[in-house]
Amino acid sequence: MRQADDDFTELMNAAKKASRQAYCPYSKFPVGAAVLTRDGSIFSGCNVENASFGLTICAERNATFHAVASGKTDIQVVAIYTPTATPTAPCGACRQVLNEFGPSARVLSFCDGPEVIRLTVAELLPRAFGPSNLNE
């Protein structure tokens, strides 16, 4: 599985596996995410909640920050898993962070049911503010 393929099974498996590590005692909503970078690397993350709710980190940002911490800043695909009957799209904060490192990245939100949300970051966050705005 790599960018040229339309089969993102490895990426989706990494997201689902990451959800098992979620720390979510408040929401009881474990989320896992995995990002695929241009060079084919996969980085995963889960949501980590905090009693001070504003300090919670979502799975998508956790995975993205793992990639960035490893020197990878060009995200091509994001897979997001929720253990629900229907898929859940990323929150606004995650959309903004994904825009920073992959404005044209494909986003696959999947769940325990058959439905998959397949959009790009640009479709999820139209007319986004990002690095290109600072270079004008």
Chain position carrying tokens 């979510």: 24
Per the annotation, the verdict on 136 as an active-site residue is no
Give the whole-angstrom CA distance, residue 23 versus residue 65: 17
Q: What's the alpha-carbon Rg for the chain, to the nearest Å?
A: 14
The single residue of 60, 100, 115, 123 carrying the catalytic annotation is 60
Give the whole-angstrom CA distance, residue 22 versus residue 49: 8
Which residues, including other chains, have CB under 8 Å from residue 37's CB and lie 6 or more apart?
A: 43, 67, 72, 73, 74, 75, 76
Question: Strand (E) positions, the chain?
Answer: 32-37, 42-46, 75-81, 106-110, 116-120
Query: Hey, which residues are catalytic here?
Result: 60
